[in-house]
Amino acid sequence: MNRWVKRLGYAGLIVLWLMVMAFPTFAFFLATRGELQFGDDPRSHMRFFMIQEEDSGGVGIEWVREASRVENCSRTSIRYVLWEGNGRNQNTSFCQCYDPVTETPLPVEESSCTP
């Protein structure tokens, strides 16, 4: 038992080290492209984007995923990490539902992620 805990600890340290080593590459591509998106599905992806405004600067993180317990809906969460500015950008989360036949987005008034 003790040997497996030790091995899991080593594996965790290796994963942490790889994440630390990959961060400069991630930051370089984000700075040169302005945004990075992981996933091609418009209903399920994660996107990082630069915020470069006159009064604020930082990184925004958009995470779109399928809504749990509700079909044809996705939940979007947007978080901001600002290193410049007073934080006027508010973190937000909202739901977007789609017509089951045509796959077109429904108006926000008709979108609800609660069953």
Q: Where are the domains of the chain?
A: 1-33, 34-115
Kind and range of the H or E run holding 65: strand 57-66
Instruction: Read off the pLDDT of residues 28-80 as tens digits, 9 standing for 90 and up.
Output: 999 999 999 999 988 899 999 999 888 888 999 999 998 887 788 888 999 99
pTM of the model: 0.77
The whole-angstrom separation of Cα 13 and Cα 50 is 29
